[in-house]
Structure 1
Amino acid sequence: MNLYTPLRSWLRAASCSAFIPKSRQLLPMKLPATQLNALCASFSAQHSFQHSSFSLFQKSFFSSCNISLSSKYPYIFPTNNPNEKSPYPLDIDADLSQLPTKDGYYTASFYCFTPIPSNELELLRLELIKWSIILSEPAFKNITCEKLQFDYLLAQLETTQVNFIRPLQAKLALTGRIYIHDIGINAQISFLGQYRKHIRFLIENNKWLSGRIPPFNYALTHNCAFKKFHVRVRPLVATDSTCNISTLENEPTYLSPEEWHSHLASNNKILIDMRNHYEFLVGKFDGAICPDVDTFREELDFVASKYADQKDKDIYMYCTGGIRCSVAGAILKEEGFKNIKTLKGGVIAYGKWIKDNIATDSSCQSDITLVSAQNIDQKHSSAQIIDQKHSSAQIIDQKHSSAQIIDQKHSSAQNIDQKHPSAQNIDQKHFPPQIKSNENTSECTTHSHRHQTPSLFIGKNFTFDKRLGEPITSHVLANCHQCGTQNDTYTNCSNPRCNLLFIQCDPCRSKYNNTCGNDHCIQVVDLEKIKKEEAIIAASKKSKKAEPINFKLGLPPIYDYKTRVRPDFTFRKLRKTHDT
């Protein structure tokens, strides 16, 4: 084996994350704000004289823009000539002031398909990395004038140096995961809210991205969803086949959330979930089919084979943010399918639309298809009905209040199901006992101040970040992989070499120490805690910061990808081991 192969592999892995040391040309860290603004102004003046294109670019931003906010922003652009484009306005993205956030960070995604020369991808990657670095600089934060901040960003894009070895300890203002390829870009990011316009400014300043990135598709819940900032040159979607711009020009029909809701509510449709099976497990559109396969390419083959004789029929597809359906719809249309329709913005956009159109009246707080504990108590007359039909419940009620019995640990539906077998038959499609029919819809709607839209998507939308999901309705469709109780909280085994993706309830999380329950994984996690405590104690004695401990040690993972996302077999094996 070539001796340089391991080195190349390590460098490739290291390049997935980028950090930067302080450049000699950067401004002083503790420079007063007034002097800093003056220096920044001189930098911007020099920059604008050297680059004539900057004045034109600046004019398009700070004067009237020829693009209306009501325009439709497409996802695909067959050409990408920098000299023939106009930048989008800075206020194209929705205002964040009305969106709650836990830590000041907002999470969003965006994608587009447009030609990018292969020899420009690494340069584009370096520039994207610089975005996070410059926005995180203390010197940048000290600038108070927004105009000077924009000038500073342009100046620093040329002077900032990227280093892939030395880590940056400060918390980044822009984190996330961005994939770039010669057919476009796919990004999921978290950023500080005050930098929304600055990120858009950087996008429109780039010659390949300017006038191409549609408005940000904001998440349903907001916090810093990523620990680091990764920029990778790789296919946007793993199709296992060549996917070019000419193929992607066969766009499916995009439906807005309102149009999508209207189409699905009218009649039975061919509805396909293009996400992974583990995403489908915790949330879905009612009546959707999710191919039980492991790769995106296999999903395409499944659809093409199953509906080969129905190419003229309407086929509806959806995914998390829309990009998978954009690619799948284009490929299927190229193979002869004529009426592929997809949800624009994916489940994320639909969830936001539902929340914007749901009633806020206190008399109708729950989802129209959700029975909360209060509704269950009202329908079954709480403990009165239970006491009348079950003498055993009367004895219990004498010792404990009915509310405690019915609503203990927020599991009223389970108690009622134990006493009312008929409640167990409310749904036979793997829905939890809390789900019921829409028989009380009129009652709920008449008390609301505005029209209430029942969500056709039930459960949680899985996300590929540390949140691992955001709820759209309160339905819980899945069960804990370890004890079988109703739960939909995904987690990864804390042993980094295991990293098994599975659903775990709070009691099991405490019992198995945030692991899958394998004895080896529990021991590794316990050892990690001991080592961290020892490192902290040793560092405190030497007045040094504790060095992070890497327990992967370059070793390969225990399970392959398919096993890590299909934990059922692993847990069946663990149960047999524990039983013996």
Structure 2
Amino acid sequence: MQLYNTLSAKERAALIEKAGKDRLTLSFYQYAKIENPQEFRDHLFVVWNTLDVLGRIYVAHEGINGQLSLPADRFNAFKAHLDTIDFLKGIRLNIAVEQDNMSFLKLKVKVRHKIVADGLNDDTFDVTNKGVHVNAETFNTLIEDEKTVLVDMRNHYESEIGHFKNAITPDVDTFRESLDIIEADLKTHKEDKNLVMYCTGGIRCEKASAYFKHKGFKNVFQLDGGIIEYTRQVNEKTLENKFIGKNFVFDERRAEKITDDVIAQCHQCGAPFDVHTNCANDACHLLFIQCDACKEEMNNCCSTTCKEIHALPYEEQKALRKGQGNSNDIFKKGRANHLPYKKDLRNIFETLKVDRS
């Protein structure tokens, strides 16, 4: 029984190209109690491998989080399989705003401690006691209320290229960091403010809404289906679009364009730009924003040092990396000191005049 990938990303890309079939990129999540995550994981891999599903799926005792692609003509078969699983029957699938046949090139189904890392160790916290889900129309009305505080539950490198107007965008690297920051900064408004949150597809807001209710917030709301579903509803119902820029996604596309606005800048020269890239130096791979001019000048590298290393013969590069491990820059997501135009978002609450006393 095959329970792992046997093809490289390059080999898979060639097969997709040869097949000439359109693929759908989609995502979904569900919090549910899974008794045996490993057994469930293996079952999913066996079935989805036969359907030519590719993607990144996390399974844990608390549920499942899936981001994947599959041949469009096998969508119904995939949906039929989900319907055979009690807690996934009838689940909404968030279809990507922009499609790309190469969005995923491997099937990775992994067992994790949690489907969203939150750093919490609180047995009294019930993740199913969530906030109120609102659709795009209600969301638009709610965020215009002067009693509403709108919070982006994503990380700094996501909100940097796109976010809702007037949203608080925490300058954090991880979801777990934002929980304590938001609670501390809004502690005096647990009863008199509407706490409205959004994220990419809804999974982080679902956990955050339950957490903030657990911490005593009375009026907690989340954008149902996140930015992806919001965009679909806005287009379908011709509603006012209050999102500006791009929606960051965690696959080969890197982002989906929601509006033509470019709100970010090249981290190297400061020119308006909003396309992320990874440093070409294999010992670095820092994720950062680099315009086309800097990409050409720097040979797709984030620094002069990386450019010099990347220009060396492969064997010399390999020898330099031996025993060094990955650079910590791979986890910084644009936070290296040598990037002079990284936007500073640290004064996140001052602009909304939220009482921090």
Superposed pair shares fold, TM > 0.5: yes
Distance 1:467 1:210, change over 3 A: closer
Letter of the 2:254 counterpart: L
Q: Residue in 1 aligned with 2:201?
A: 321
Q: Residue in 1 aligned with 2:175?
A: 296
Determine if the alignment matches structure 1 residue 274 to structure 2 residue 190: no
Determine if the alignment matches structure 1 residue 567 to structure 2 residue 339: no
Cα deviation, residue 561, structure 1: 5.5
Aligned pairs for 1:230-309 within 5 A: 230-234=108-112, 235-242=114-121, 247-267=126-146, 269-309=148-188
Contact 2:329–2:336 (CA<8 Å) still a contact in 1? no
Distance 1:558 1:324, change over 3 A: same
Determine if the alignment matches structure 1 residue 134 to structure 2 residue 45: no
What TM-score does the superposition give when structure 1 sets the normalisation length?
Answer: 0.52
**Secondary structure of the equivalent of 2:217?**
coil
Determine if the alignment matches structure 1 residue 339 to structure 2 residue 219: yes
Contact 2:303–2:338 (CA<8 Å) still a contact in 1? no
Q: How many aligned positions are there? A: 324
How many Å separate the matches in 1 of 2:98 and 2:210?
Answer: 30
Contact 1:113–1:245 (CA<8 Å) still a contact in 2? no
Cα deviation, residue 516, structure 1: 1.4
Q: Residue in 1 aligned with 2:244?
A: 458
Aligned pairs for 1:490-505 within 5 A: 490-505=276-291
Match of 1:229 among 107, 110, 127: 107
Determine if the alignment matches structure 1 residue 114 to structure 2 residue 32: yes
Point out which structure has higher relative CO (alpha carbons under 8 A, 6+ apart).
Answer: 2
Letter of the 1:350 counterpart: Y
Q: Which runs of 5+ in 2 are unaligned?
A: 8-19, 342-357
Aligned pairs for 1:393-542 within 5 A: 453-524=239-310, 527-528=313-314
How many Å separate the matches in 2 of 1:296 and 1:103?
Answer: 36
Letter of the 2:339 counterpart: F
**Secondary structure of the equivalent of 1:570?**
coil
How many Å separate the matches in 2 of 1:103 and 1:198?
Answer: 16
Contact 2:285–2:330 (CA<8 Å) still a contact in 1? no
Contact 1:460–1:471 (CA<8 Å) still a contact in 2? yes
Q: Residue in 1 aligned with 2:236?
A: 356
Structure 1 residues 12-61: Cα deviation after superposition (integer angstroms, max 9, x where no partner): xxx9x92259xxxxxxxxxxxxxxxxxxxxxxxxxxxxxxxxxxxxxxxx
Contact 2:24–2:70 (CA<8 Å) still a contact in 1? yes
How many Å separate the matches in 2 of 1:551 and 1:196?
Answer: 46
Distance 1:180 1:296, change over 3 A: same
Letter of the 2:156 counterpart: H
What TM-score does the superposition give when structure 2 sets the normalisation length?
Answer: 0.83
How many Å separate the matches in 2 of 1:103 and 1:477?
Answer: 35
Aligned pairs for 1:193-204 within 5 A: 193-204=72-83
How many Å separate the matches in 1 of 2:116 and 2:323?
Answer: 27
How many Å separate the matches in 1 of 2:308 and 2:236?
Answer: 44
Distance 1:463 1:550, change over 3 A: farther
Distance 1:316 1:186, change over 3 A: same
Higher helix share: 1
**Secondary structure of the equivalent of 2:97?**
coil
How many Å separate the matches in 2 of 1:479 and 1:103?
Answer: 36
Letter of the 1:475 counterpart: D
Q: Residue in 1 aligned with 2:40?
A: 124
Match of 1:186 among 35, 59, 65: 65
Aligned pairs for 1:4-43 within 5 A: 18-19=4-5
Contact 1:249–1:330 (CA<8 Å) still a contact in 2? yes
Q: Which runs of 5+ in 1 are unaligned?
A: 1-14, 22-101, 136-172, 359-452, 532-548, 574-580
Structure 1 residues 146-187: Cα deviation after superposition (integer angstroms, max 9, x where no partner): xxxxxxxxxxxxxxxxxxxxxxxxxxx311110110011011
How many Å separate the matches in 2 of 1:304 and 1:513?
Answer: 43
Cα deviation, residue 454, structure 1: 2.9
Cα deviation, residue 524, structure 1: 2.7
Distance 1:497 1:128, change over 3 A: farther
Q: Residue in 2 aligned with 1:216?
A: 93
Which structure has the larger Rg? 1
